[in-house]
């Protein structure tokens, strides 16, 4: 749970992708709950 992950990480899906995407590791997750948190916290930093 690294909240200080910079935007532009290759392992992170684009912010406009609001679907369940597959990570390179084959781990499906919801970007709204995962990357969405980073998108909200990044500008707060």
Point out which residues pair with 22 in neighbouring strands.
28
Which pLDDT belongs to residue 19?
55
Q: Is the pTM of this model over 0.75?
A: no
Contact 32, 39 (CB under 8 A): no
Q: How far is Cα 22 from Cα 13, in angstroms, rounded to an integer?
A: 9
Position with higher pLDDT, 44 vs 9 = 9
CA distances from 26 to 21, 23, 41, 42, 44 (A): 9, 5, 26, 26, 30
Q: Is the pLDDT of residue 4 over 60?
A: yes
Which pLDDT belongs to residue 36?
53
pLDDT tens sequence across 8-31:
556 666 665 545 555 555 555 555
- What single DSSP character describes residue 14? P
């Amino acid at each position: 749970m690294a909240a200080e992950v910079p935007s532009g990480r290759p392992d992170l899906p684009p912010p406009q992708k609001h679907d369940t995407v597959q990570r390179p590791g084959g781990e499906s997750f919801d970007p709204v709950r995962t990357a969405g948190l980073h998108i909200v916290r990044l500008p707060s930093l």
